[in-house]
Amino acid sequence: MMGAKPDIQRIGCCVQDNAKQQLAAIMDISREAILLIDSCDFAVCVANHRAEKSFCCADHELNGKPFYELVSAHQVDGLKMLLEELAAGRRHALQTTQHFYRKDKVDFRGDMVIRSLVDAAGDCQGMMISIKDVTERLAAEEQLKRMEKNYWEIFNSTNDALFVHDAYTGAILEANKTVEILYGYSREEVFVKNLQDLSAGVPPYSLNEGISQIRKAVESGPQTYEWLSKKKDGELFWTEITMIASRIGGEGRVLAVVRDIGDRKEMERHLKYLSDHDSLTGLYNRMYFEAEFKRIVKAEKYPFSIIVADLDGLKQVNDTLGHAAGDELIKSAASLLSHVVRGDDLVARLGGDEFIVVLAEADEEAARNLMERIRSVEGSMQVAAGSERLRFSLGSETARSAKEVDALFGRADARMYADKAERKRQKAQDKE
């Protein structure tokens, strides 16, 4: 009830003497600012030492000052309304956070609780206000929010897909935007998937191996490995995954950084192809042939045969028609050999006009049959107008045991040169 302006004694009459002493003691030792205001003009009647310190004012500067003048201007009208409701008995307490101003014009934010002090008849005789300075706490919370915002912006802006897994079950607990782009799932779909769904699904790229990698990260430190992953539409693609164990919010977690390495794998395949193949013909080159031949010998699957093929007339084509025509002749020769051999036979260009064919688990008859197929096709091939028809000088040899391997190439070369000499002899006779 609104009435004449009360003083502290009048406010105190609503409590017993011992209670008043307790109130005074509490106000003195409180770490919060405590103000007593009247219910008429809401002026400050009593302020404790913490209030003087909080508002940078002496007691006499606060006494008699309307409380609402201590808050920011844009909050005055709202605060007056709340105080009037308390004074009229329409409410008995309120709690809010306000901006307060000190004498030195420095503002602070405080959690404020206001309670009405009523007499035996239930009439409001004044109000007690406690204010806890929360400026630093709120600043820290705002800083934390900014940090979290920055974290999520970084988390979602990286070009790598990021997963947060449970360290014990492998369950997906968090994922960034790149996960959605890379795998083709919506955010909601990601959280109901497991490692099996996002992997090729067959060993060594299945659930058990994925869980094993998570455990290694927990027990042995960061792990980096290549992984065959799977998109929502079933497409398989190569990724590089780095797993790092951590504790987030006191819980065991594993951060998985997933990078699409499809381009890198393609480049590796291309470089491997270039290292194994002849750049002009696409056949295997000498280096690959030598390594593969050692493997064939080591496998001891006898008999096997070789055919040495020397392309005739290349120098003449280069001299008369140019090296471009010579390259076409070489490519035609390589194409012929590739088409007549069996699928498991090895064809390589050793350099220049030299080619070799290795027939796995093949005897002398198989080698003769293949040379006949070469002869049957080569006569019909002509690379350029005016050039001679494509022809090989051929020689073969078969190894039936390890002791025959050393002499294999010498004997095949001898037969090839004999074939070349015979062809020259026949050509000379034809001219006569």
pLDDT one-digit tens code per residue, 8-40: 455 545 545 566 666 677 777 788 899 998 888
Lowest mean pLDDT among 17-31, 102-116, 318-332, 354-368: 17-31
Q: Tally Cβ neighbours within 10 Å of residue 232.
A: 15
The number of residues making up the chain comes to 432
Report the CATH architecture of 158-261: 2-Layer Sandwich (3.30)
* d(C-alpha 265, C-alpha 260), whole Å: 10
pLDDT of 381 reads 65
Domains 8-138 and 158-261 share a fold: yes
Superfamily covering domain 277-431: Reverse transcriptase/Diguanylate cyclase domain (3.30.70.270)
Helix (H) or strand (E) holding 234: none
- 391 and 313 Cβ atoms separated by less than 8 Å: yes
Read off the pLDDT of each residue in 202-206 and give the average, rounded to a whole number: 93
Lowest mean pLDDT among 118-132, 235-249, 275-289: 118-132
pLDDT of 2 reads 42
pLDDT for residue 7 is more than 60: no
pLDDT of 354 reads 95
Helix (H) or strand (E) holding 33: strand 33-37
What is the CA angle 59-65-66, rounded to 5? 140
Cis? peptide before 303, omega within 30° of 0: yes
pLDDT of 5 reads 43
Residue 65, CA distances (Å) to 43, 57, 291 in order: 5, 11, 98
* Residue 268, C-beta contacts closer than 8 angstroms, at least 6 positions apart: none
- 62 and 50 Cβ atoms separated by less than 8 Å: no
* Residue 186, C-beta contacts closer than 8 angstroms, at least 6 positions apart: 180
The per-residue pLDDT of the chain, averaged, comes to 86
Among 248, 235, 243, CA closest to 259: 243
Residue 72, CA distances (Å) to 68, 85, 110, 350 in order: 8, 20, 12, 90
Q: Which residues of 298-325 are buried (b: 16+ CB within 10 A; e: fewer)?
A: eeeeebbbbbbbbbbbbeebbeebeeeb
pLDDT for residue 385 is more than 50: no
pLDDT of 121 reads 80
Cα 101 versus chain centre, distance: 49
pLDDT of 151 reads 65
Domain 8-138 in this protein, CATH class:
alpha beta
pLDDT for residue 194 is more than 50: yes
pLDDT for residue 160 is more than 50: yes
Q: What are the φ and ψ backbone dihedral angles of 124, each rounded to 5 degrees?
A: -75, 120
Among 117, 136, 113, CA closest to 23: 117
Confidence category of residue 152, pLDDT binned at 50, 70, 90: low
Read off the pLDDT of each residue in 88-115 and give the average, rounded to a whole number: 87
pLDDT digits (tens, 9 = 90+) for 351-378: 999 999 999 899 999 999 999 999 888 8
DSSP string, 82-131: HHHHHHTTS-SEEEEEEEEE-TTS-EEEEEEEEEEEE-TTS-EEEEEEEE
pLDDT of 277 reads 95
Q: Where are the domains of the chain?
A: 8-138, 158-261, 277-431
pLDDT of 6 reads 44
